[in-house]
Amino acid sequence: MKLWSGRFSKNTNKLLDDFNSSISFDQRLYKQDILGSIAHATMLGKQNIISKDDSVLISNTLKDILNDIETGNVQFNVQSEDIHMNIEKILIDRIGNIGKKLHTARSRNDQIALDMRMYVKEEIVNIDKLLKTLQKTLLTLAKANTITIMPGYTHLQRAQPITFAHHLLAYFEMFKRDRDRLSDTLKRTDILPLGSGALASTTYPIDRGFVAESLNFSAISINSLDAVSDRDFCIELINTLSLIMMHLSRFSEEIVLWCSYEFKFIELDDAYSTGSSIMPQKKNPDIAELVRGKTGRVYGDLLGLLTTLKGLPLAYNKDMQEDKEATFDAIDTVKMCLPIFTDMITTMKVNKKSMYKAASNGFLNATDAADYLVKKGLAFRDAHEIIGKLVLYCINNNLELKDLSLEEYQSISNVFEDDIFTIISLEECVNKRNIVGGPAIKTIEQTIESCEDYCSNS
């Protein structure tokens, strides 16, 4: 018999039970649901809305149920629709009429809003930890590569020399913003909706502050309609998760490129690569590709939930049950991708020689050669033109700027002197860029230090 069967004269259709039920996916909320119910029952007892004895019996039985679920001794049932009614039904089966008092001054609408907020709060902390581990890995790698010169690209064309540390620390910044966004989302998730009832709060003298404190919420919601129909916190979380995936995906794309035969900047560890069923020579970057691929499903979760909510009138509508799979899938995906990605980059080999070689070809020092002329008094546009001509000369003769003789330089502009050769060395190009934000070794060492401080304080 359904907990709401009173006004019905027929049983529900079997198809409806399957269609309507969310227990297959919301059972993961059992802990939040039970802890929320214990706080609620305790408050009902404290406020004399139910007797102290009843309140204690309900709480103790709920604790037993929690334990039984965790030891695999509870069977959930589609008939009971969702996690809330499954647990309430088990409670009533165990303690009869007293169990029927738990749902006083509460609705599943504020109950599910509570469960989701508790769940999201926990997962934000978990995902933040994973991001921090990834950031620490980036710092370890960066420390080992402060002088590893590699080509920096724009349009995927070799542009200017940078260091591998500088490149890695770009991702550190992205994940730092992601962590900021998580903690910002946490602020708006950390609001207790319980007490909003179905939509219009309740007539019972409940103590919402007490429940908030017991469940470790910093604030209580101030509009019952909003509180039961708000899923902004899920959307904000999936939005942040989408950005995390976007960052991982861009990084993955670089990993895929870097371990190709064409680049050979890195080699993935055998434990984090896969082979081909037909081509014996293959070593494929499947992890990076899958992370890149899974980014799409997290974007899908975001778009799906935004679309689900866009036309809903206040307050609760059953459409909102669809928030769960989207939110859970996005969380699960990110929680799967972050550790494996971190392990993959921890174990990869950095091919410093290939990086240096790639940075040595393709005129990455051309901007510095132009800047040299500017420092000797030329206007930048004229300097640009002169170096452009030299580059063309080099291309036609299969040379690099460093291969030209001083005479060849001077044949184009007599401003050139012997010091041009120091200026265009890759080390000089990198280390001259010593302003905040630049790749110079000293700058990067300072950046690494402040990043380490950030990691120990956050």
Closest CB 326 distance from ligand ARG, rounded Å? 12
Closest CB 198 distance from ligand ARG, rounded Å? 7
22 binds ligand ARG (CB under 6 A): yes
234 binds ligand ARG (CB under 6 A): no
Closest CB 41 distance from ligand ARG, rounded Å? 19
119 binds ligand ARG (CB under 6 A): no
32 binds ligand ARG (CB under 6 A): no
For ligand ARG, the binding residue among 33, 82, 123, 301 (CB under 6 A) is 82
For ligand ARG, the binding residue among 40, 89, 103, 108 (CB under 6 A) is 108
> Catalytic residue at 247?
no
Q: Which is nearer to ligand ARG, 107 or 342 (CB)?
A: 107
> Catalytic residue at 384?
no
309 binds ligand ARG (CB under 6 A): no
For ligand ARG, the binding residue among 211, 320, 423, 451 (CB under 6 A) is 320
308 binds ligand ARG (CB under 6 A): no
Stretch that binds ligand ARG, among 69-77, 317-325, 401-409, 443-451 (CB under 6 A): 317-325
For ligand ARG, the binding residue among 316, 328, 409, 416 (CB under 6 A) is 316
Choosing from 183, 276, 411, 458, the catalytic residue is: 276
109 binds ligand ARG (CB under 6 A): yes
Stretch that binds ligand ARG, among 7-15, 108-116, 182-190, 344-352 (CB under 6 A): 108-116
Residue 25: Cβ-neighbour burial (10 angstroms; 0-12, 13-18, 19+): middle
Q: Write the CA distances from 129 to 136, 178, 208, 235, 458, integer angstroms.
A: 11, 12, 31, 21, 10
342 binds ligand ARG (CB under 6 A): no
86 binds ligand ARG (CB under 6 A): no
Choosing from 9, 155, 277, 456, the catalytic residue is: 155
Stretch that binds ligand ARG, among 7-15, 105-113, 201-209, 251-259 (CB under 6 A): 105-113
112 binds ligand ARG (CB under 6 A): yes
As given in the structure block, the two tokens for residue 282 are: 């293959």
Closest CB 16 distance from ligand ARG, rounded Å? 13
244 binds ligand ARG (CB under 6 A): no
Q: Write the CA distances from 212 to 107, 118, 294, 344, 352, integer angstroms.
A: 17, 11, 36, 41, 55
Residues of this chain that bind ligand ARG (CB under 6 A): 22, 26, 82, 108-109, 112, 316, 318, 320-321
Q: Which residues are marked as active site?
A: 155, 276
